[in-house]
Structure 1
Amino acid sequence: MECATVSAPLSSHPSPAQTNTPPEGKKPPEHLRRIIGEPPGPIVALLTRGVWALLTALSLGARDALARFVGNLAYTLGIRRKVALDNLAHAMPEKSEAERRAIARGAYITMARVVVESLPSGDRLAPDWDQQGVEGEEAWAALKAHVATGKGALLVTAHFGNWELLGQMLIRLGVPLNALVRPLKGALNTRIAENRLRVGAGLIYPKGAIQEITDAVHRGESAFMLLDQALPAKSAVFVPFFGRLASTTPAMAVAAERTGMPVFVVVGVRPPGPGARFRLEVEGPIPAPAPGEFADPITEHTARVTAGLERAIRRHPEQWLWLHRRWKVQPPAALVTAASPGLTQGTVAEPSRRD
């Protein structure tokens, strides 16, 4: 299902009262409200508390100006710039070098904005965060209708726009969710995890993740996962992404197969101008293959959902993190020679033969 035209503001859709404070009500169970990882040492913790306090004190406009400065500086200094430009050259060879450089610079600004916007406490979204509209109105209506039945859905996103604030938006719009995360270390990651819990999200870690997702969706809580991260080859399936096979977690497809819950691609697109506001774009539900249609239905479903992410990124390429080494894990040689040419349709697995 392709995204439809822009609809009325989100606040005009049936949902809980729109405020810029975390909602009261259903919370994830206690065991999903814990932070696993290596916290910062006492000195680093003390220093970073001052940084968080400074960011919190800044106005939304000042935060945005700071983020743009930091992003432009990182691009100018060339930090991982070669990686970003090489990724873009492979993914978008039809664009000129100047166009690819502009997209890469935008990706650096996106990364800086995510950090600067995600770390403060208190209000992080702009006051008019719910006035930006939704694209893919039928898909959004389908998601809301499903959640209204008391069951959760499987929500897939990418390192796009500001995925941290996207989760906060979804919770405020009446979609309880739990984020799939990895144990991380350091002050920055600890702060982000704390803010996830503060807005009402649960945290699901890799160990036992499929069972946790299964339990969560039956409680009415959706699973919220990033599907654009590279995994070790032994843990991944390889699906087409911008013309190259990319190692991708099969967790979403396995969870969909086990629970029968629908899968939606959800991203938050930042409109022009300053401020932490985003237009919601939704595609789905993206169906799993019919029984017997493909020899490897898990890989095929993963490919279909990844293709949805690619479509969103192609519409707004400057809002995805091209400096990420997405294709660093190489697929087995047999997959490279057998891959289907249907790169954006998700046709990666060959249909099973029927006599």
Structure 2
Amino acid sequence: MSSSLSPSSSPTHVPPAPRLSQVMGERPSPVVGWLANRVMDALCALPASVRDGFARFVGWLAFTLGIRRRVALENLAHAFPEKSEAERRSIALGAYITMARVVIESIDTRDLVNLSWVAPEAPGGDWEALKAHVATGRGALLVTAHFGNWERAGKLLPQWGVPLDALVRPLKGALNMRIVDNRVAAGVGLIYPKGAIAQAQEAVELGESVLMLLDQALPAKAAVFVPFFGRLASTTPALAVVAQRTGAPVFVVMGVRDASGRILRIEVEGPIPAPPAQEGQDPIVAHTAAVTAVLERHIRRHPGQWLWLHRRWKVQPPAAQLTPGGEGRG
């Protein structure tokens, strides 16, 4: 069961813990950074309809120029063999537009001042379950994907009283650093890959919730392989490891766009328990697979909102997990 939510009361700003506000990454030179930020300021100052039109144009242009288009269409052919080529191309175009929208929306420093982009829907059961757990002073484990607008979804949670730390990678460049700075300004703490499991465990024990993206390929030695759209995909085991060590509940949180693409609805599903123990089955793999299945269900409902241009299946599973034809068993 999943539920949607929107702000039902005044936002409550929850700043990140001091140990998690450090921004790691490579910033541009002061001159380049200043110029880039002035350009981004000018873009953000445009009317919302103009900004969205620009995002749609940028997405269309990238798709038309063929930037990673082959990757997106190959992924879609595997995921939706029953769909026509025209349908898959339409989904792929939607993914490019989604990416352009996320970038443009994520550089806007006024995001949490004007919440007109949040769908006016009342909180539901699974959101209430998350809030009830957080109210006890214990943290939860939250999972999302590169879907809809994951940046805005994450920024909203601290405003609604969920102390949040996000597992992120160090970035570089003026645009990326602005996005990271906006995360911290929104009250999101940052956990970086080195020592991430220990930091996430500590955060949960301190009553902070931890948000992870579970749809990125990892090197085989650091990953577990679980079914995702019928193929085994390398996936971080960090979520299931921290859940096992802390007993924290796991919720999926997705920022879903409406038909116009400009309004976001936050959907919460959970808690998602680890499957019952079975002989010969790794509980970490089983829990990771259960959560990944929930992500896949959301993506299937809105396929144009996931980033199909990511090489999600580029890392091959061990030979023992492959079928004779070479595909990962799903």
Mapped partners of 2:19, 2:197: distance in 1: 15
CA contact (8 A) 1:294 1:300 kept: no
Deviation for aligned residue 1:124: 5.9
- Deviations 1:282-313 (Å, cap 9, x if unpaired)? 21111013355553100110000000000000
Give matches, 1:324-343, under 5 Å: 324-337=310-323, 343=330
- Give the partner amino acid of 1:122: R
The counterpart of 1:287, out of the listed 261, 265, 273, is 273
Match of 2:163 in 1: 176
Contact between 1:39 and 1:187, CA under 8 Å: does it hold in 2?
Answer: yes
Residues 60 and 93, structure 2, Cα contact 8 Å, conserved in 1: yes
Match in the other structure for 2:57: 69
Find the residue that maps to 2:2 and give its secondary structure. Answer: coil
Q: What residue number does 1:185 align with? A: 172
Match of 2:75 in 1: 87
Q: 1:288 to 1:300 in 2, by over 3 A?
A: same
Q: Which residue of 1 aligns with 2:186?
A: 199
* Correspondence for 1:107: 95
Q: Contact 2:16–2:184 at 8 Å: present in 1 too?
A: no
Q: Which 4+ residue blocks in structure 1 deviate beyond 6 angstroms?
A: 338-342
Are 2:13 and 1:17 aligned? no
1:68 partner SS: helix
Q: Which is worse superposed, 126-135 or 163-172?
A: 126-135
CA contact (8 A) 1:246 1:331 kept: yes
1:41 to 6, 9, 29: 29
Q: Report the AA paired with residue 91 of structure 2.
A: I
RMSD: 2.2
Runs of 5+ in structure 2 lacking a partner? none
Paired residue for 1:309?
A: 295
What is the DSSP-based 3-state SS (H/G/I as helix, E as strand, rest coil) of the residue aligned with 2:252?
Answer: strand
Q: Do structure 1's residue 264 and structure 2's residue 251 form an aligned pair?
A: yes
1:120 is displaced (CA, Å) by 1.9
Shift of 1:33: 0.3
Q: Shift in Å at residue 42 of structure 1?
A: 3.2
Report what 2:148 is aligned to.
Answer: 161
Q: Any idea what SS the aligned residue of 1:168 has?
A: helix
> Residue 282 of structure 1 aligns to which amino acid in structure 2?
V
SS in 2 for 1:188: helix
Counterpart code for 1:17: S
Deviation of 1:215 after TM superposition, in Å, equals: 1.6
Q: Structure 2 counterpart of 1:86, which letter?
A: E
Q: What TM-score comes out, normalization by structure 1 length?
A: 0.87
Counterpart of 1:278 (choices 258, 264, 278) is 264
1:155-197 deviation per Cα after TM superposition (whole angstroms, max 9, x unaligned): 0000000110001122222212001011222222211110000
Letter in 2 for 1:209: A
**Partner of residue 78, structure 1:** 66
Aligned to 2:116: 128
User: Which consecutive unaligned segments of at least 5 residues does structure 1 have?
Assistant: 344-355
* Corresponding position of 1:3: 2
Could you tell me how far apart the structure 2 residues matched to 1:216 and 1:285 are? 18
Residue 236 (1) aligns with residue 223 (2): yes
CA-CA distance at 1:131 after TM superposition: 3.7
2:128 maps to 1:141: yes
> Conserved in 1, the CA contact under 8 Å of 2:95 and 2:307?
yes
Looking at structure 1, the residues matched to 70 and 172 of structure 2 have their Cα atoms a distance apart, in angstroms, of: 27
- Asked if the contact 1:118/1:124 (under 8 Å) is kept, the reply is no
Is 1:246 paired with 2:233? yes
Task: Tell me the equivalent position of 2:46.
Answer: 58
Other structure's SS at 2:60 match: helix
Name the structure 1 match of 2:138.
151
Matches of 2:128 and 2:211, distance apart in 1 = 18
Secondary structure in 2 matching 1:27? coil
User: What is the distance in 2 between the residues matched to 1:30 and 1:152?
Assistant: 17
Letter in 2 for 1:79: I
> Residues 227 and 249 of structure 1 are in contact (CA less than 8 Å); yes or no, is this contact kept in structure 2?
yes
TM superposition shift of 1:111 = 0.2
CA displacement, residues 259-281 of structure 1 (integer Å, 9 cap, x when unaligned) = 10000111011001253x31111
* CA distance, structure 2, for counterparts of residue 238 and residue 342 of structure 1: 10
1:296 paired with 2:282, answer yes
Compared with structure 1, are the counterparts of its residues 232 and 138 closer, same or farther at alpha carbon in structure 2 (3 Å cutoff)?
A: same
